[in-house]
């Protein structure tokens, strides 16, 4: 049985009030990992969806990740029982990696008042409870660190998601690289000055420290979907003429500084991912060639995997949404920058996900909405791909007994 490992974590990575869930598990807990990578005897490609993957000191029991998904259900940034059950079910359901939704590194970096946050130490404890539970179930606990920039200050999506333009409406001023709105109905962002930019970098670093002390083993920087770090990358939102705008090198500078800072404070054993939008799907915007160049720089700074999404920069983007439509970008970046990638977007069937891994398009497959429909998607994939289902002990014995 393959165990989730996060080896040799430095003491600073664990806060004093947390125990290491990998060392202290109650006896009823199982890591119910999938099959080992080297001892399966099927005449299939050596690496497939259900093979473990080791990055640095962390072993993922298979190649299935739960993609980060905002729940818009936090109060003042705090995670609660909803988040524990929402994320915990997918760990029970066999995912190798469960990534907590976009978690704001500053209060004004929230998309909505319901976003999770990690801008104060008090946020650590409820997040730590989630990380501990995920790992007790054999999943690796990941968290996405985010700042929404000009796309912040919106109402909850089930209330229409409109911009909250005034404090009376519950909104707050938004920041961005340049005074360019997301859409006509969006607030005009206040351009960040040098000290504002330093503040953003410090906030990502402080958020990363808190995430580590909460016990997360994978950190993902959110630089996709038109949020702040993506806003600096794209010429459609970045019109600066200082060292953070203009040339590609300048537009990449903020993200690269954030990544350098975060990587620098992470233990060697723990992986760092970056989610990007491979293309804006809009003329004059960010595109795949630049993504490959960015990924080359990210790799050099110690990023372990690029989680390849797309879009979100402008409302008028024309996106050819179809089954696996972003997978070719994951392949291009994997090949072009020689870095591990994750594929995401309309991947719903286990066989399709398996082909993505066996075909060499990506190293990990991220599932979002299909895991909302089917929390036990990874267990279903084990069955469909002809593997033993690795149920938690509490369920497994009962299901076997009933089969007799
Ligand atoms: C409800 C919901 C919330 C989302 N929140 C996030 C988020 O916090 N961070 C992020 O990078 N992507 C977010 N996404 C995008 C998903 O992670 C994923 O990239 C997208 O849904 C495409 O994958 P799918 O076709 O499997 O759903 C969200 C998607 C949904 C449906």
Between the CA of 64 and the centroid of ligand 1 the distance, in Å, is 15
Question: Along the 404 residues of the chain, how does pLDDT read in single tens digits?
Answer: 333 333 333 332 333 333 333 333 444 444 444 443 344 444 445 899 999 999 999 999 999 999 999 999 999 999 999 999 999 999 999 999 999 999 999 999 999 999 999 999 999 999 999 999 999 999 999 999 999 999 999 999 999 999 999 999 999 999 999 999 999 999 999 999 999 999 999 999 999 999 999 999 999 999 999 999 999 999 999 999 999 999 999 999 999 999 999 999 999 999 999 999 999 999 999 999 999 999 999 999 999 999 999 999 999 999 999 999 999 999 999 999 999 999 999 999 999 999 999 999 999 999 999 999 999 999 999 999 999 999 999 999 999 886 55
Burial track 169-199 (b if 16+ CB lie within 10 A, e otherwise): eebbebbbbbebebeeebbebebbeeeebee
* Structural domains of the chain ordered from first start: 46-375 (3.20.20.70)
Would you call 244 a catalytic residue per the annotation?
Answer: no
Residue 252 CA from chain centroid, whole number: 20
Question: How far from the centroid of its chain's Cα atoms is residue 216's Cα?
Answer: 12
pTM of the model: 0.91
Q: What is the DSSP letter of 6?
A: B
Structure token pair of residue 298: 């990210």
Asked if residue 73 lies in contact with residue 114, where contact means CB atoms within 8 angstroms, the answer is yes
171 contacts 164 by C-beta, under 8 angstroms: yes
Strands 58-60 and 53-55, bridge-based pairing: antiparallel
For residue 126, count other CB atoms closer than 10 A to its CB: 18
Tell me the DSSP string of 233-278.
Answer: H-TTT----STTSSSHHHHHHHHHHHHHHHHHHS-TTS-EEEEEES
The beta-strand segments (E) located in 175-228 are: 175-176, 190-191, 218-223
In the structure encoding, which two tokens stand for residue 348, read together?
Answer: 């719903």
The protein residue with its alpha carbon nearest to ligand 1, atom 28, reads: 69
* Ligand 1 binding pocket, CB closer than 6 Å: 67-70, 101-102, 144, 222, 224-225, 275, 309, 344-347, 367-370
Using an 8 Å Cβ cutoff, are 377 and 93 in contact? yes
Number of alpha carbons in the 13 Å side-chain half-sphere of residue 236? 24
């Amino acid at each position: 049985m393959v165990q989730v490992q996060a080896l040799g974590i430095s003491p600073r990575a664990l806060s004093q009030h947390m125990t290491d869930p990998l060392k202290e598990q109650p006896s009823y807990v199982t890591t119910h990992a999938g099959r080992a990578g080297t001892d399966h005897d099927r005449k299939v490609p050596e690496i497939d969806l259900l093979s473990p993957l080791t990055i640095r000191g962390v072993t993922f029991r298979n190649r299935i990740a739960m993609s980060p998904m905002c729940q818009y259900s936090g109060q003042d940034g705090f995670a609660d029982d909803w988040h524990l059950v929402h994320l915990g079910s997918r760990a029970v359901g066999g995912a190798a990696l469960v990534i907590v939704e976009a978690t704001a590194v500053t209060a004004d970096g929230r998309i909505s008042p319901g976003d999770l946050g990690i801008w104060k130490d008090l946020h650590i404890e409820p997040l730590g409870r989630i990380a501990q539970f995920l790992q007790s179930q054999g999943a690796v606990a990941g968290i996405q660190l985010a700042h929404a920039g000009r796309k912040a200050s919106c109402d909850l999506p089930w209330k229409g998601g409109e911009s909250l333009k005034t404090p009376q409406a519950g909104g707050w001023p938004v920041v961005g690289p340049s005074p360019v709105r997301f859409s006509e109905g969006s607030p005009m962002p206040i351009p960040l000055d040098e000290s504002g930019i330093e503040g953003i970098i410090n906030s990502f670093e402080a958020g990363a420290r808190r995430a580590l002390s909460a016990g997360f083993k994978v950190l993902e920087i959110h630089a996709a979907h038109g949020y702040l770090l993506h806003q600096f990358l794209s010429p459609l939102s970045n019109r600066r003429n200082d060292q953070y705008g203009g040339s590609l090198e300048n537009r990449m500078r903020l993200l690269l500084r954030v990544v350098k800072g975060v990587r620098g404070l992470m233990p060697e054993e723990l992986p760092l991912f970056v989610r990007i939008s491979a293309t804006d799907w809009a003329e004059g915007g960010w595109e795949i060639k630049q993504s490959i160049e960015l990924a080359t720089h990210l790799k050099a700074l110690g990023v372990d995997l690029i989680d390849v999404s797309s879009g979100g920069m402008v409302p008028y983007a024309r996106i050819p949404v179809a089954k696996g439509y972003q997978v070719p970008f994951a392949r291009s970046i994997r090949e072009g920058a020689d870095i591990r990638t994750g594929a995401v977007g309309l991947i719903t069937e286990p066989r399709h996900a398996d082909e993505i891994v066996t075909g060499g398009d990506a190293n990990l497959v991220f599932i979002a909405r299909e895991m909302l429909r089917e929390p036990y998607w990874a267990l279903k994939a084990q069955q469909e791909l002809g593997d033993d289902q690795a149920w938690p002990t509490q369920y497994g014995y009962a299901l076997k007994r009933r089969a007799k």
